[in-house]
């Protein structure tokens, strides 16, 4: 079988991963810019394929999880023009084999459902909470084979941007900490880093603790760009899985 391209199109970045029937390959991250043309996307994809030594005709499909509707037609046209293949969208063209118990199922982001499917097929636990540290911080709850619902909270980087936009003197932060033990900062940078990293970890621990009242002994898996940063000081995260959504797209495509 040929190569497939997996796309996790988020509000801030789009992650692209090469894969085949044996598993995931290299991944790349591009800024999500729906205003760009399909030619712009196509030229970037061609550059990635060239770097990996793959001929465009070897790509059999683009498999996409997208929460950015204006981007969808661009990727569709790009796939047809540059790769001569079809774009396959999770939840629309590609079945996500979970019972969606949301009141309005169409409102659930494809990335959330794909991540939940990946976690369901990877872990044996009956109850699972999938935390995604993206533009927003989301907690998705899975019981058995059902997506039950979840929580949406501010994102770490969104909070940083809001602080920077509303204040004149706060410096930029790198969200790194020197110790996994909380201590008061002795500079504005330390205060921000400690407050954001430990603050979000405490938020996650508190929310998981409250959700556990409805979900007996949930297994908590974290993904997203800042999962490792927050997860290292969280008491509730059981496992970090940076490629959870990509793994879910891969599973859905080859199990379809």
- CATH code for the domain of 211: 3.30.420.40
The answer, yes or no, to whether residue 140 has pLDDT greater than 60, is yes
**Residue 161's pLDDT is what?**
76
Write out the residue range of the structural domain in which residue 186 sits: 104-242
Domain identity same for 118 and 66: no
The answer to whether residues 69 and 183 belong to one domain is no
The CA distance from 252 to 80, in Å, is 22
**Is 72 among the residues known to form the active site?**
no
Residues 74 and 109 in one domain: no
Domain annotation covers residue 60:
yes
Q: Does some domain include residue 72?
A: yes
Q: What is the pTM of this model?
A: 0.90
Contact 49, 25 (CB under 8 A): no
Q: How far apart are CA 205 and CA 67, in angstroms?
A: 26
Q: Of these residues, 111, 132, 174, 256, which one is catalytic?
A: 111
Q: What percent of the chain has a predicted confidence (pLDDT) above 70? A: 96
Q: How confident is the model at residue 165 (pLDDT cuts 50, 70, 90)?
A: low
Asked whether residue 251 is assigned to any structural domain, the reply reads no
Find out whether 96 and 89 touch, Cβ atoms under 8 Å: no
In-domain check, residue 256: no
Nearest to 240 by CA among 152, 151, 141, 132: 132
Contacts of 157 (CB under 8 A, 6+ apart): 12, 135, 225, 226
What's the mean per-residue pLDDT of the chain?
A: 91
Both 62 and 152 in a single domain?
A: no
Which residue, 89, 123, 149, sits at the end of a domain? 89
Q: Is residue 253 part of a domain?
A: no
* Mean pLDDT in residue range 12-34: 92
218 & 149 share domain: yes
Mean pLDDT of 111-131: 96
Span 13-34, mean pLDDT? Answer: 92
Domain count along the chain? 2
Domain assignment present for residue 96? The answer is: no
Judge if 76 and 199 occupy the same domain.
Answer: no
Q: Specify the pLDDT at position 134.
A: 85
Q: How far is CA 192 from CA 160, 189, 229, in A?
A: 9, 5, 14
pLDDT at 138: 95
The tens digit of pLDDT for each residue in 87-104 reads 999 999 999 999 999 999
Based on the domain organization, do 185 and 151 belong to the same domain?
Answer: yes
pLDDT given at position 179? 73
Rounded mean pLDDT of 33-54?
Answer: 91
Domain identity same for 226 and 161: yes
How high is the pLDDT of residue 170? 65
Predicted pLDDT at 155: 87
CA distance 95 to 102: 16
Q: Are residues 81 and 108 in the same domain?
A: no
What is the pLDDT at residue 168? 56
Write down the pLDDT at residue 35. 73
- Three-class secondary structure assignment of the chain: CCEEEEEEECCCEEEEEEEECCEEEEEEEEECCCCCCHHHHHHHHHHHHHHHCCCHHHEEEEEEEECCHHHHHHHHHHHHHHHCCEEEEECCCECCCCEECCCCHHHCCHHHHHHHHHHHHHCCCCEEEEEEECCEEEEEEEECCEEEEEEEEECHHHHHHHHHHHCCCCCCCCCCCCCCCCCCCCCHHHHHHHHHHHHHHHHHHHHHHHHCCCCCCCEEEEEECCHHHHHCCCCCCCEECCCHHHHHHHHHHHHC
Predicted pLDDT at 34: 76
**What average pLDDT does range 23-52 have in this prediction?**
92
Q: How confident is the model at residue 167 (pLDDT cuts 50, 70, 90)?
A: low
């Amino acid at each position: 079988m040929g190569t497939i391209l997996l796309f996790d199109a988020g509000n801030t970045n789009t992650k692209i991963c090469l894969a085949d029937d044996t598993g995931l390959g290299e991944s790349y991250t591009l800024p999500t810019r729906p205003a760009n043309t399909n030619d712009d996307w196509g030229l970037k994809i061609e550059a990635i394929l060239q770097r990996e030594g793959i001929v465009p005709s070897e790509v059999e499909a683009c498999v996409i999880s997208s929460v950015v509707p204006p981007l969808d037609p661009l990727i569709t046209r790009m796939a047809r023009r540059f790769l001569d293949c079809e774009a396959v969208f999770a939840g629309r063209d590609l079945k996500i084999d979970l019972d969606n118990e949301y009141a309005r199922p169409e409102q659930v982001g494809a990335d959330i459902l794909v991540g939940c499917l990946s976690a369901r097929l990877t872990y044996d636990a009956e109850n699972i909470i999938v935390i995604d540290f993206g533009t927003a911080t989301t907690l998705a709850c899975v019981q058995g084979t059902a997506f039950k619902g979840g929580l949406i909270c501010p994102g770490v980087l969104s909070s940083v941007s809001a602080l920077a936009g509303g204040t004149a003197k706060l410096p930029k932060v790198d969200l790194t900490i020197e110790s996994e033990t909380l201590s008061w900062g002795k500079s504005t940078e330390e205060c921000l880093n400690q407050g954001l990293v430990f603050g979000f970890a405490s938020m996650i621990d508190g929310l998981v603790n409250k959700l556990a009242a409805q979900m007996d002994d949930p297994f908590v898996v974290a993904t997203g760009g800042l999962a490792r940063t927050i997860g290292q000081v969280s008491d509730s995260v059981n496992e970090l899985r940076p490629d959870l959504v990509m793994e879910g797209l891969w599973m859905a495509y080859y199990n379809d």
